[in-house]
Amino acid sequence: MSAALSLESLKAQAERLSFRSQAFIDGRFVDAADGRTFECISPIDGRVLAKVAACDAADVDRAVTAARRAFEDGRWRNKAPGERKRILLRFAELIEQHATELALLETLDMGKPIRDSANIDIPAVIKCIRWYAEAIDKVYDEIAPTPPDALAMITREPLGVVGAVVPWNFPLLMAAWKIAPALATGNSMVVKPAEQSPLSAIRAAELASEAGVPDGVLNVVPGFGETAGQALGRHMDVDCIAFTGSAEVGKYFLRYAGESNMKRVSLECGGKTPNIVMADAPDLDAAATAAAWGIFFNQGEVCNAGSRLLVEEPIKDVLLEKIAAVAKKIRIGDPLDPATQMGAIVDDTQLERILGYIEEGRKEGARLALGGRRILSETGGYYVEPTVFDNVANDMKIAQEEIFGPVLATITFKDPDEAIRIGNDTIFGLAAAVWTRDINKALRAARALRAGSVWINCFDAGDITTPFGGFKQSGFGRDKSLHAMEKYTEIKTTWIQID
Ligand code: NAP
Ligand code: MG
Protein backbone atom coordinates (compact mmCIF):
# COMPACT_ATOMS: atom_id res chain seq x y z
CA MET A 1 0.00 0.00 0.00
CA SER A 2 1.38 3.37 -0.89
CA ALA A 3 2.39 5.35 2.15
CA ALA A 4 0.39 8.24 0.72
CA LEU A 5 -2.88 6.48 1.50
CA SER A 6 -4.29 8.16 4.58
CA LEU A 7 -7.47 7.30 6.41
CA GLU A 8 -9.11 10.33 4.78
CA SER A 9 -8.14 9.38 1.24
CA LEU A 10 -9.15 5.76 1.79
CA LYS A 11 -12.52 6.84 3.18
CA ALA A 12 -13.00 9.14 0.22
CA GLN A 13 -12.14 6.34 -2.20
CA ALA A 14 -14.45 3.97 -0.35
CA GLU A 15 -17.29 6.49 -0.72
CA ARG A 16 -16.71 6.70 -4.47
CA LEU A 17 -16.58 2.94 -5.05
CA SER A 18 -19.24 1.47 -7.25
CA PHE A 19 -19.97 -2.13 -6.40
CA ARG A 20 -20.54 -4.75 -9.06
CA SER A 21 -23.35 -6.78 -7.56
CA GLN A 22 -24.68 -9.03 -10.32
CA ALA A 23 -23.65 -12.51 -11.28
CA PHE A 24 -20.99 -12.75 -14.00
CA ILE A 25 -22.07 -15.44 -16.48
CA ASP A 26 -20.83 -16.06 -20.00
CA GLY A 27 -18.86 -12.84 -20.12
CA ARG A 28 -21.49 -10.43 -18.84
CA PHE A 29 -23.27 -9.20 -15.75
CA VAL A 30 -26.73 -10.63 -15.19
CA ASP A 31 -29.33 -10.57 -12.43
CA ALA A 32 -30.45 -13.77 -10.77
CA ALA A 33 -33.07 -15.46 -12.95
CA ASP A 34 -35.79 -14.81 -10.37
CA GLY A 35 -34.52 -11.27 -9.74
CA ARG A 36 -33.79 -11.90 -6.07
CA THR A 37 -30.99 -10.16 -4.20
CA PHE A 38 -29.44 -10.28 -0.74
CA GLU A 39 -27.93 -7.51 1.32
CA CYS A 40 -24.17 -7.35 1.45
CA ILE A 41 -23.42 -5.82 4.84
CA SER A 42 -20.19 -4.23 6.04
CA PRO A 43 -19.11 -5.49 9.47
CA ILE A 44 -17.35 -2.16 10.01
CA ASP A 45 -20.58 -0.34 10.75
CA GLY A 46 -23.44 -2.63 9.76
CA ARG A 47 -24.11 -0.58 6.61
CA VAL A 48 -25.61 -2.20 3.50
CA LEU A 49 -22.97 -1.94 0.77
CA ALA A 50 -24.94 -3.45 -2.08
CA LYS A 51 -27.83 -5.68 -2.96
CA VAL A 52 -26.20 -8.66 -4.57
CA ALA A 53 -27.79 -11.16 -6.98
CA ALA A 54 -28.98 -14.18 -4.97
CA CYS A 55 -28.18 -16.94 -7.42
CA ASP A 56 -30.07 -20.20 -7.20
CA ALA A 57 -30.06 -23.53 -9.03
CA ALA A 58 -31.28 -21.93 -12.30
CA ASP A 59 -28.39 -19.46 -12.30
CA VAL A 60 -25.86 -22.13 -11.43
CA ASP A 61 -27.21 -24.14 -14.33
CA ARG A 62 -26.85 -21.17 -16.66
CA ALA A 63 -23.25 -20.68 -15.53
CA VAL A 64 -22.39 -24.36 -15.83
CA THR A 65 -23.91 -24.48 -19.31
CA ALA A 66 -21.80 -21.50 -20.38
CA ALA A 67 -18.70 -23.04 -18.82
CA ARG A 68 -19.37 -26.36 -20.54
CA ARG A 69 -19.87 -24.72 -23.92
CA ALA A 70 -16.61 -22.80 -23.52
CA PHE A 71 -14.81 -25.99 -22.55
CA GLU A 72 -16.22 -28.11 -25.36
CA ASP A 73 -15.49 -25.68 -28.17
CA GLY A 74 -11.90 -25.36 -26.94
CA ARG A 75 -11.81 -21.55 -26.88
CA TRP A 76 -9.60 -21.71 -23.78
CA ARG A 77 -8.26 -25.22 -23.29
CA ASN A 78 -7.03 -25.44 -26.89
CA LYS A 79 -5.05 -22.24 -26.68
CA ALA A 80 -1.30 -22.82 -26.57
CA PRO A 81 -0.12 -22.77 -22.95
CA GLY A 82 1.94 -19.70 -23.78
CA GLU A 83 -1.22 -17.91 -24.89
CA ARG A 84 -3.09 -18.78 -21.68
CA LYS A 85 -0.04 -17.53 -19.87
CA ARG A 86 -0.11 -14.21 -21.70
CA ILE A 87 -3.78 -13.66 -20.85
CA LEU A 88 -3.38 -14.68 -17.20
CA LEU A 89 -0.38 -12.36 -16.84
CA ARG A 90 -2.55 -9.56 -18.20
CA PHE A 91 -5.23 -10.55 -15.65
CA ALA A 92 -2.65 -10.25 -12.84
CA GLU A 93 -1.58 -6.88 -14.21
CA LEU A 94 -5.16 -5.58 -14.18
CA ILE A 95 -5.58 -6.72 -10.58
CA GLU A 96 -2.39 -4.85 -9.75
CA GLN A 97 -3.75 -1.72 -11.44
CA HIS A 98 -6.92 -2.03 -9.35
CA ALA A 99 -5.19 -3.19 -6.18
CA THR A 100 -6.45 -0.41 -3.92
CA GLU A 101 -10.00 -0.80 -5.16
CA LEU A 102 -9.90 -4.58 -4.56
CA ALA A 103 -8.28 -4.13 -1.15
CA LEU A 104 -11.06 -1.70 -0.21
CA LEU A 105 -13.68 -4.21 -1.36
CA GLU A 106 -12.17 -6.88 0.91
CA THR A 107 -11.93 -4.55 3.88
CA LEU A 108 -15.41 -3.08 3.52
CA ASP A 109 -16.96 -6.47 2.87
CA MET A 110 -15.40 -8.58 5.61
CA GLY A 111 -13.73 -6.18 8.01
CA LYS A 112 -10.03 -7.02 7.74
CA PRO A 113 -7.56 -4.14 8.20
CA ILE A 114 -6.75 -2.29 4.98
CA ARG A 115 -3.04 -2.70 5.74
CA ASP A 116 -3.57 -6.47 5.42
CA SER A 117 -5.83 -6.47 2.38
CA ALA A 118 -3.52 -4.00 0.62
CA ASN A 119 -0.18 -5.47 1.72
CA ILE A 120 -0.97 -9.16 2.05
CA ASP A 121 -4.18 -10.34 0.35
CA ILE A 122 -4.08 -8.54 -2.98
CA PRO A 123 -0.31 -8.86 -3.53
CA ALA A 124 -0.67 -12.60 -2.80
CA VAL A 125 -3.51 -12.83 -5.34
CA ILE A 126 -1.34 -11.17 -7.99
CA LYS A 127 1.63 -13.39 -7.17
CA CYS A 128 -0.52 -16.52 -7.30
CA ILE A 129 -1.96 -15.74 -10.73
CA ARG A 130 1.46 -14.77 -12.10
CA TRP A 131 3.07 -17.93 -10.71
CA TYR A 132 0.62 -20.33 -12.39
CA ALA A 133 0.66 -18.26 -15.57
CA GLU A 134 4.46 -18.51 -15.65
CA ALA A 135 4.39 -22.22 -14.80
CA ILE A 136 1.95 -23.45 -17.41
CA ASP A 137 4.29 -23.31 -20.40
CA LYS A 138 7.04 -25.06 -18.42
CA VAL A 139 5.39 -28.26 -17.22
CA TYR A 140 5.98 -31.40 -19.26
CA ASP A 141 4.10 -34.67 -19.58
CA GLU A 142 5.66 -38.13 -19.31
CA ILE A 143 6.71 -41.08 -21.44
CA ALA A 144 6.47 -44.47 -19.74
CA PRO A 145 9.41 -46.92 -19.63
CA THR A 146 7.72 -49.41 -21.99
CA PRO A 147 9.33 -52.19 -24.05
CA PRO A 148 10.78 -50.97 -27.38
CA ASP A 149 7.74 -52.00 -29.44
CA ALA A 150 5.52 -49.46 -27.73
CA LEU A 151 5.32 -45.81 -26.86
CA ALA A 152 3.12 -44.85 -23.92
CA MET A 153 2.39 -41.20 -23.32
CA ILE A 154 1.10 -40.14 -19.92
CA THR A 155 -0.56 -36.79 -20.39
CA ARG A 156 -2.56 -34.48 -18.20
CA GLU A 157 -5.80 -33.02 -19.47
CA PRO A 158 -8.06 -30.38 -17.94
CA LEU A 159 -11.04 -31.85 -16.11
CA GLY A 160 -13.71 -29.68 -17.71
CA VAL A 161 -15.98 -27.55 -15.54
CA VAL A 162 -14.55 -26.77 -12.11
CA GLY A 163 -16.81 -25.41 -9.37
CA ALA A 164 -15.02 -23.42 -6.67
CA VAL A 165 -16.80 -22.72 -3.38
CA VAL A 166 -14.84 -20.41 -1.11
CA PRO A 167 -15.04 -18.76 2.34
CA TRP A 168 -14.94 -15.16 3.50
CA ASN A 169 -11.73 -14.92 5.52
CA PHE A 170 -9.43 -14.22 2.54
CA PRO A 171 -12.16 -13.82 -0.07
CA LEU A 172 -10.20 -13.16 -3.25
CA LEU A 173 -7.06 -15.04 -2.22
CA MET A 174 -8.92 -18.29 -1.51
CA ALA A 175 -10.64 -17.91 -4.88
CA ALA A 176 -7.30 -17.17 -6.60
CA TRP A 177 -5.70 -20.30 -5.15
CA LYS A 178 -8.31 -22.21 -7.19
CA ILE A 179 -8.82 -19.94 -10.19
CA ALA A 180 -5.13 -19.61 -11.12
CA PRO A 181 -4.22 -23.33 -11.38
CA ALA A 182 -7.64 -24.33 -12.75
CA LEU A 183 -7.56 -21.74 -15.54
CA ALA A 184 -3.86 -22.23 -16.25
CA THR A 185 -4.52 -25.94 -16.88
CA GLY A 186 -7.34 -25.09 -19.32
CA ASN A 187 -10.54 -25.65 -17.34
CA SER A 188 -13.69 -23.54 -17.27
CA MET A 189 -14.95 -22.39 -13.89
CA VAL A 190 -17.96 -21.42 -11.83
CA VAL A 191 -17.01 -19.67 -8.59
CA LYS A 192 -19.39 -19.33 -5.62
CA PRO A 193 -18.01 -16.75 -3.19
CA ALA A 194 -19.21 -16.68 0.43
CA GLU A 195 -22.41 -14.71 1.00
CA GLN A 196 -20.48 -12.49 3.46
CA SER A 197 -17.89 -11.42 0.90
CA PRO A 198 -18.97 -11.66 -2.74
CA LEU A 199 -17.75 -8.29 -4.06
CA SER A 200 -14.09 -8.91 -4.91
CA ALA A 201 -14.70 -12.14 -6.85
CA ILE A 202 -17.38 -10.49 -8.98
CA ARG A 203 -15.05 -7.60 -9.80
CA ALA A 204 -12.15 -9.96 -10.51
CA ALA A 205 -14.23 -11.90 -13.05
CA GLU A 206 -14.83 -8.65 -14.90
CA LEU A 207 -11.09 -7.92 -14.91
CA ALA A 208 -10.36 -11.45 -16.19
CA SER A 209 -12.72 -10.83 -19.06
CA GLU A 210 -11.03 -7.51 -19.80
CA ALA A 211 -7.68 -9.34 -19.80
CA GLY A 212 -8.92 -11.66 -22.54
CA VAL A 213 -10.23 -14.71 -20.67
CA PRO A 214 -12.93 -15.82 -23.13
CA ASP A 215 -16.64 -15.61 -22.30
CA GLY A 216 -17.92 -18.53 -20.27
CA VAL A 217 -14.50 -19.56 -18.96
CA LEU A 218 -14.76 -17.77 -15.60
CA ASN A 219 -18.24 -17.34 -14.14
CA VAL A 220 -19.15 -16.05 -10.68
CA VAL A 221 -22.47 -16.87 -9.01
CA PRO A 222 -22.94 -15.06 -5.70
CA GLY A 223 -25.55 -16.54 -3.39
CA PHE A 224 -26.11 -18.75 -0.41
CA GLY A 225 -24.43 -22.02 0.38
CA GLU A 226 -27.58 -24.06 0.75
CA THR A 227 -28.88 -22.88 -2.63
CA ALA A 228 -26.11 -21.87 -5.05
CA GLY A 229 -23.39 -23.90 -3.30
CA GLN A 230 -25.49 -27.01 -3.10
CA ALA A 231 -26.68 -26.66 -6.71
CA LEU A 232 -23.06 -26.54 -7.85
CA GLY A 233 -22.15 -29.51 -5.67
CA ARG A 234 -25.02 -31.59 -7.06
CA HIS A 235 -24.79 -30.46 -10.69
CA MET A 236 -24.47 -33.41 -13.08
CA ASP A 237 -22.26 -31.48 -15.46
CA VAL A 238 -19.68 -30.16 -12.99
CA ASP A 239 -16.51 -32.27 -13.08
CA CYS A 240 -14.84 -31.10 -9.91
CA ILE A 241 -15.50 -29.10 -6.78
CA ALA A 242 -12.63 -27.27 -5.17
CA PHE A 243 -13.86 -26.25 -1.74
CA THR A 244 -12.42 -24.16 1.07
CA GLY A 245 -14.48 -23.79 4.21
CA SER A 246 -15.58 -25.63 7.31
CA ALA A 247 -15.23 -29.38 7.75
CA GLU A 248 -18.99 -29.62 8.25
CA VAL A 249 -19.76 -28.14 4.82
CA GLY A 250 -16.84 -30.03 3.28
CA LYS A 251 -18.61 -33.26 4.20
CA TYR A 252 -21.76 -32.04 2.45
CA PHE A 253 -19.76 -31.79 -0.77
CA LEU A 254 -18.68 -35.40 -0.46
CA ARG A 255 -22.32 -36.33 -0.12
CA TYR A 256 -23.39 -34.12 -3.04
CA ALA A 257 -20.75 -35.79 -5.23
CA GLY A 258 -21.78 -39.28 -4.13
CA GLU A 259 -25.43 -38.54 -4.80
CA SER A 260 -24.82 -36.97 -8.20
CA ASN A 261 -22.07 -37.64 -10.73
CA MET A 262 -19.06 -38.67 -8.59
CA LYS A 263 -17.41 -35.36 -9.39
CA ARG A 264 -13.90 -34.95 -8.00
CA VAL A 265 -13.86 -33.11 -4.68
CA SER A 266 -10.96 -31.42 -2.96
CA LEU A 267 -11.45 -30.00 0.51
CA GLU A 268 -9.48 -27.34 2.35
CA CYS A 269 -11.18 -27.29 5.72
CA GLY A 270 -10.59 -26.04 9.22
CA GLY A 271 -7.85 -26.50 11.76
CA LYS A 272 -6.90 -26.37 15.43
CA THR A 273 -3.20 -25.78 14.97
CA PRO A 274 -0.93 -26.66 17.89
CA ASN A 275 1.86 -24.13 18.35
CA ILE A 276 4.33 -26.06 20.50
CA VAL A 277 6.86 -23.99 22.45
CA MET A 278 9.53 -26.07 24.18
CA ALA A 279 11.57 -24.71 27.07
CA ASP A 280 14.65 -24.58 24.82
CA ALA A 281 12.99 -22.36 22.20
CA PRO A 282 15.77 -20.30 20.61
CA ASP A 283 14.13 -16.92 21.18
CA LEU A 284 11.14 -16.58 23.50
CA ASP A 285 10.39 -13.05 22.34
CA ALA A 286 10.15 -14.24 18.75
CA ALA A 287 8.03 -17.20 19.83
CA ALA A 288 5.69 -14.91 21.80
CA THR A 289 5.29 -12.47 18.91
CA ALA A 290 4.60 -15.33 16.50
CA ALA A 291 2.17 -16.96 18.95
CA ALA A 292 0.24 -13.70 19.35
CA TRP A 293 0.06 -12.90 15.65
CA GLY A 294 -0.56 -16.55 14.91
CA ILE A 295 -3.95 -16.19 16.58
CA PHE A 296 -4.76 -12.47 16.32
CA PHE A 297 -3.86 -11.92 12.64
CA ASN A 298 -7.02 -11.46 10.54
CA GLN A 299 -9.04 -11.35 13.79
CA GLY A 300 -8.25 -15.04 14.29
CA GLU A 301 -10.32 -15.86 11.20
CA VAL A 302 -7.58 -18.03 9.75
CA CYS A 303 -7.86 -21.75 9.02
CA ASN A 304 -4.34 -22.43 10.26
CA ALA A 305 -4.52 -19.98 13.21
CA GLY A 306 -2.31 -21.13 16.08
CA SER A 307 -5.35 -21.52 18.30
CA ARG A 308 -3.74 -24.01 20.71
CA LEU A 309 -0.59 -22.82 22.45
CA LEU A 310 1.19 -25.88 23.83
CA VAL A 311 3.91 -24.69 26.18
CA GLU A 312 6.40 -26.56 28.34
CA GLU A 313 5.47 -25.99 31.98
CA PRO A 314 8.53 -24.10 33.28
CA ILE A 315 8.26 -21.32 30.68
CA LYS A 316 4.49 -20.91 30.61
CA ASP A 317 4.19 -17.83 32.82
CA VAL A 318 6.96 -15.90 31.14
CA LEU A 319 5.68 -16.80 27.66
CA LEU A 320 2.12 -15.74 28.52
CA GLU A 321 3.41 -12.44 29.90
CA LYS A 322 5.25 -11.77 26.66
CA ILE A 323 2.21 -12.71 24.57
CA ALA A 324 0.03 -10.38 26.64
CA ALA A 325 2.53 -7.57 26.12
CA VAL A 326 2.31 -8.03 22.34
CA ALA A 327 -1.48 -8.33 22.42
CA LYS A 328 -1.96 -5.17 24.46
CA LYS A 329 -0.15 -3.13 21.82
CA ILE A 330 -2.35 -4.33 18.96
CA ARG A 331 -4.36 -1.50 17.47
CA ILE A 332 -7.98 -2.57 17.06
CA GLY A 333 -10.55 -0.45 15.31
CA ASP A 334 -11.63 1.03 12.02
CA PRO A 335 -10.30 -1.37 9.35
CA LEU A 336 -10.03 1.54 6.90
CA ASP A 337 -7.43 3.21 9.11
CA PRO A 338 -3.97 2.23 7.79
CA ALA A 339 -2.73 2.07 11.41
CA THR A 340 -5.29 -0.56 12.43
CA GLN A 341 -3.88 -4.05 13.01
CA MET A 342 -7.03 -5.94 13.99
CA GLY A 343 -10.36 -5.19 12.36
CA ALA A 344 -13.97 -6.30 12.64
CA ILE A 345 -15.32 -9.84 12.88
CA VAL A 346 -17.07 -10.75 9.63
CA ASP A 347 -20.69 -10.63 10.85
CA ASP A 348 -22.93 -10.70 13.89
CA THR A 349 -23.38 -14.48 13.71
CA GLN A 350 -19.62 -15.05 13.89
CA LEU A 351 -19.34 -12.46 16.66
CA GLU A 352 -21.94 -14.33 18.75
CA ARG A 353 -20.23 -17.63 18.02
CA ILE A 354 -16.89 -16.33 19.29
CA LEU A 355 -18.43 -14.78 22.42
CA GLY A 356 -20.27 -18.07 23.00
CA TYR A 357 -16.99 -20.00 22.96
CA ILE A 358 -15.42 -17.52 25.38
CA GLU A 359 -18.34 -18.08 27.76
CA GLU A 360 -18.02 -21.84 27.29
CA GLY A 361 -14.29 -21.71 28.11
CA ARG A 362 -15.04 -19.93 31.38
CA LYS A 363 -17.74 -22.45 32.27
CA GLU A 364 -15.45 -25.37 31.56
CA GLY A 365 -12.94 -23.98 34.06
CA ALA A 366 -10.26 -22.38 31.91
CA ARG A 367 -8.80 -19.15 33.27
CA LEU A 368 -9.42 -16.04 31.20
CA ALA A 369 -5.97 -14.44 31.20
CA LEU A 370 -6.63 -11.62 28.73
CA GLY A 371 -9.50 -9.93 26.90
CA GLY A 372 -12.73 -11.80 26.39
CA ARG A 373 -15.11 -8.96 25.57
CA ARG A 374 -16.81 -7.35 22.62
CA ILE A 375 -15.56 -3.79 22.20
CA LEU A 376 -16.36 -0.68 20.13
CA SER A 377 -20.01 -1.70 19.83
CA GLU A 378 -20.92 2.02 19.61
CA THR A 379 -19.51 1.99 16.06
CA GLY A 380 -22.12 -0.56 14.96
CA GLY A 381 -19.23 -2.87 14.07
CA TYR A 382 -18.28 -6.28 15.46
CA TYR A 383 -15.01 -6.19 17.39
CA VAL A 384 -13.56 -8.67 19.90
CA GLU A 385 -10.55 -8.14 22.13
CA PRO A 386 -7.49 -10.38 21.74
CA THR A 387 -8.36 -13.16 24.17
CA VAL A 388 -6.10 -15.64 25.95
CA PHE A 389 -7.20 -18.59 28.07
CA ASP A 390 -4.81 -20.29 30.48
CA ASN A 391 -5.24 -23.66 32.26
CA VAL A 392 -6.95 -25.23 29.28
CA ALA A 393 -7.38 -29.00 29.08
CA ASN A 394 -7.21 -30.41 25.58
CA ASP A 395 -10.63 -32.03 25.88
CA MET A 396 -12.37 -28.70 26.48
CA LYS A 397 -14.50 -27.31 23.65
CA ILE A 398 -12.22 -24.29 23.24
CA ALA A 399 -9.33 -26.70 22.57
CA GLN A 400 -11.21 -29.06 20.27
CA GLU A 401 -13.53 -26.89 18.15
CA GLU A 402 -12.51 -24.31 15.60
CA ILE A 403 -13.54 -20.93 17.03
CA PHE A 404 -12.40 -18.82 14.07
CA GLY A 405 -11.82 -15.78 16.24
CA PRO A 406 -9.05 -14.15 18.32
CA VAL A 407 -9.12 -16.71 21.12
CA LEU A 408 -6.00 -18.55 22.27
CA ALA A 409 -6.14 -21.73 24.40
CA THR A 410 -3.01 -22.38 26.47
CA ILE A 411 -2.18 -25.96 27.42
CA THR A 412 0.96 -27.09 29.24
CA PHE A 413 3.04 -30.21 28.65
CA LYS A 414 5.88 -31.95 30.52
CA ASP A 415 7.97 -33.46 27.72
CA PRO A 416 8.10 -33.56 23.90
CA ASP A 417 6.19 -36.85 23.66
CA GLU A 418 3.30 -35.38 25.59
CA ALA A 419 3.37 -32.27 23.38
CA ILE A 420 3.09 -34.41 20.25
CA ARG A 421 0.33 -36.52 21.74
CA ILE A 422 -1.72 -33.44 22.65
CA GLY A 423 -0.86 -31.78 19.36
CA ASN A 424 -2.28 -34.73 17.44
CA ASP A 425 -5.30 -35.13 19.73
CA THR A 426 -7.69 -33.30 17.39
CA ILE A 427 -9.87 -34.20 14.41
CA PHE A 428 -7.91 -31.64 12.37
CA GLY A 429 -4.46 -31.74 10.77
CA LEU A 430 -3.90 -28.56 8.83
CA ALA A 431 -0.72 -27.23 10.43
CA ALA A 432 1.54 -27.35 13.49
CA ALA A 433 4.54 -25.42 14.76
CA VAL A 434 7.44 -26.37 17.02
CA TRP A 435 9.90 -24.06 18.75
CA THR A 436 13.14 -25.65 19.98
CA ARG A 437 16.86 -25.14 19.43
CA ASP A 438 17.42 -28.93 19.39
CA ILE A 439 17.43 -30.16 15.79
CA ASN A 440 16.66 -33.73 16.83
CA LYS A 441 13.63 -32.73 18.86
CA ALA A 442 12.47 -30.50 16.02
CA LEU A 443 12.73 -33.18 13.36
CA ARG A 444 11.21 -35.89 15.54
CA ALA A 445 8.25 -33.62 16.18
CA ALA A 446 7.96 -32.64 12.51
CA ARG A 447 7.71 -36.31 11.56
CA ALA A 448 5.27 -37.23 14.30
CA LEU A 449 2.83 -34.35 13.88
CA ARG A 450 -0.08 -35.27 11.62
CA ALA A 451 -0.42 -32.00 9.72
CA GLY A 452 -0.09 -30.75 6.16
CA SER A 453 2.38 -28.02 7.18
CA VAL A 454 4.85 -28.05 10.07
CA TRP A 455 6.75 -24.89 10.94
CA ILE A 456 10.01 -25.04 12.87
CA ASN A 457 10.95 -21.90 14.80
CA CYS A 458 8.48 -19.82 12.80
CA PHE A 459 4.73 -19.66 12.30
CA ASP A 460 2.54 -19.45 9.20
CA ALA A 461 5.54 -19.32 6.89
CA GLY A 462 5.36 -20.37 3.26
CA ASP A 463 4.73 -18.97 -0.15
CA ILE A 464 3.14 -19.90 -3.44
CA THR A 465 5.87 -22.51 -4.08
CA THR A 466 4.81 -24.71 -1.14
CA PRO A 467 1.68 -26.89 -1.04
CA PHE A 468 -0.97 -26.07 1.54
CA GLY A 469 -3.72 -28.33 2.82
CA GLY A 470 -4.71 -30.77 5.46
CA PHE A 471 -4.42 -34.21 6.97
CA LYS A 472 -7.43 -35.83 8.66
CA GLN A 473 -10.60 -33.69 8.76
CA SER A 474 -8.74 -30.62 7.57
CA GLY A 475 -9.43 -32.10 4.16
CA PHE A 476 -7.48 -33.44 1.20
CA GLY A 477 -5.93 -32.05 -1.93
CA ARG A 478 -3.43 -29.21 -1.92
CA ASP A 479 -3.63 -25.57 -2.90
CA LYS A 480 -0.53 -23.68 -4.10
CA SER A 481 2.62 -25.08 -5.78
CA LEU A 482 2.63 -27.32 -8.86
CA HIS A 483 0.78 -29.95 -6.80
CA ALA A 484 -2.41 -27.87 -7.04
CA MET A 485 -2.51 -28.63 -10.77
CA GLU A 486 -3.12 -32.29 -9.92
CA LYS A 487 -6.58 -31.34 -8.66
CA TYR A 488 -7.61 -29.82 -11.96
CA THR A 489 -6.29 -32.42 -14.39
CA GLU A 490 -6.95 -36.06 -15.30
CA ILE A 491 -4.16 -38.42 -16.26
CA LYS A 492 -4.52 -40.10 -19.63
CA THR A 493 -2.46 -43.02 -20.93
CA THR A 494 -2.06 -43.31 -24.70
CA TRP A 495 -0.40 -46.61 -25.66
CA ILE A 496 0.95 -46.77 -29.20
CA GLN A 497 2.08 -50.07 -30.72
CA ILE A 498 5.17 -49.78 -32.89
CA ASP A 499 5.49 -52.25 -35.78
P1 NAP B 1 -18.39 -22.41 5.46
O2 NAP B 1 -19.54 -21.98 6.24
O3 NAP B 1 -18.05 -23.85 5.39
O4 NAP B 1 -18.63 -21.85 3.99
C5 NAP B 1 -17.72 -22.05 2.95
C6 NAP B 1 -18.45 -21.95 1.64
O7 NAP B 1 -19.39 -23.01 1.55
C8 NAP B 1 -19.24 -20.66 1.49
O9 NAP B 1 -19.19 -20.22 0.16
C10 NAP B 1 -20.62 -21.12 1.87
O11 NAP B 1 -21.65 -20.32 1.34
C12 NAP B 1 -20.69 -22.50 1.31
N13 NAP B 1 -21.71 -23.32 1.94
C14 NAP B 1 -22.24 -23.19 3.19
N15 NAP B 1 -23.18 -24.12 3.40
C16 NAP B 1 -23.27 -24.84 2.28
C17 NAP B 1 -24.09 -25.94 1.87
N18 NAP B 1 -25.00 -26.48 2.67
N19 NAP B 1 -23.89 -26.45 0.62
C20 NAP B 1 -22.98 -25.91 -0.20
N21 NAP B 1 -22.21 -24.87 0.11
C22 NAP B 1 -22.33 -24.34 1.34
O23 NAP B 1 -17.06 -21.68 5.91
P24 NAP B 1 -16.87 -20.12 6.21
O25 NAP B 1 -17.55 -19.82 7.49
O26 NAP B 1 -17.21 -19.33 5.00
O27 NAP B 1 -15.29 -20.05 6.36
C28 NAP B 1 -14.64 -20.45 7.50
C29 NAP B 1 -14.12 -21.86 7.38
O30 NAP B 1 -13.24 -21.97 6.26
C31 NAP B 1 -13.31 -22.30 8.56
O32 NAP B 1 -13.66 -23.59 8.95
C33 NAP B 1 -11.88 -22.26 8.03
O34 NAP B 1 -10.99 -23.09 8.71
C35 NAP B 1 -12.06 -22.68 6.63
N36 NAP B 1 -10.91 -22.28 5.81
C37 NAP B 1 -10.02 -23.24 5.41
C38 NAP B 1 -8.91 -22.89 4.65
C39 NAP B 1 -7.91 -23.92 4.19
O40 NAP B 1 -7.16 -23.62 3.27
N41 NAP B 1 -7.87 -25.10 4.76
C42 NAP B 1 -8.71 -21.56 4.29
C43 NAP B 1 -9.63 -20.60 4.71
C44 NAP B 1 -10.74 -20.99 5.47
P45 NAP B 1 -22.34 -19.15 2.23
O46 NAP B 1 -21.27 -18.43 2.92
O47 NAP B 1 -23.01 -18.35 1.23
O48 NAP B 1 -23.28 -19.86 3.15
MG1 MG C 1 -19.97 -8.60 3.72
In-domain check, residue 484: no
Question: Of 242, 269, 296, which one is at a domain's C-terminal end?
Answer: 269
User: Whose CA is closest to 264, among 229, 233, 240, 237?
Assistant: 240
What would the pLDDT profile of 274-315 be if each residue is shown by its tens digit? 999 999 999 999 999 999 999 999 999 999 999 999 999 999
pLDDT over threshold 80, residue 240: yes
Mean pLDDT of all residues in the chain? 97
Question: d(Cα 350, Cα 404) in Å, to the nearest integer?
Answer: 8
- Residue 405 Cβ inside 6 Å of ligand 1? The answer reads no
**Shortest-distance ligand to the CA of residue 220:** 1
pLDDT over threshold 70, residue 2: no
Q: Which atom of ligand 1 is nearest to the CA of 195?
A: 47
pLDDT over threshold 90, residue 44: yes
pTM of the model: 0.97
The three-point CA angle 197-199-205 to 5° equals: 125
- Cα of 249 from ligand 1 centre, angstroms: 6
- Residue 300 Cβ inside 6 Å of ligand 1? The answer reads no
CB atoms within 10 A of CB 144: 12
**Do 304 and 262 sit in the same domain of this protein?**
no
Confidence of residue 479 (pLDDT cuts 50, 70, 90): very high
In-domain check, residue 483: no
CB atoms within 10 A of CB 479: 24
Q: What is the CATH number of the domain that holds 314?
A: 3.40.309.10
Q: Which atom of ligand 1 is nearest to the CA of 430?
A: 41
Domain that holds residue 442: 274-463
Burial (0-12, 13-18, 19+ Cβ within 10 Å), 117: buried
Ligand 1: residue whose CA is nearest its atom 18: 226
In-domain check, residue 75: yes
The per-residue pLDDT for 5 is 76
Catalytic residues: 268, 303
In-domain check, residue 34: yes
**Do 23 and 121 sit in the same domain of this protein?**
yes
- Cα of 51 from ligand 2 centre, angstroms: 11
User: Whose CA is closest to 17, among 118, 117, 116, 102?
Assistant: 102
**Do 34 and 178 sit in the same domain of this protein?**
yes
**Do 37 and 64 sit in the same domain of this protein?**
yes
Question: d(Cα 175, Cα 219) in Å, to the nearest integer?
Answer: 12
Share of the chain above pLDDT 70, in %: 99
**Do 280 and 200 sit in the same domain of this protein?**
no
Residues ≥6 apart with Cβ < 8 Å to 57: 227, 228, 231
**Do 247 and 343 sit in the same domain of this protein?**
no
For the chain, what is the domain count? 2
**Do 234 and 298 sit in the same domain of this protein?**
no
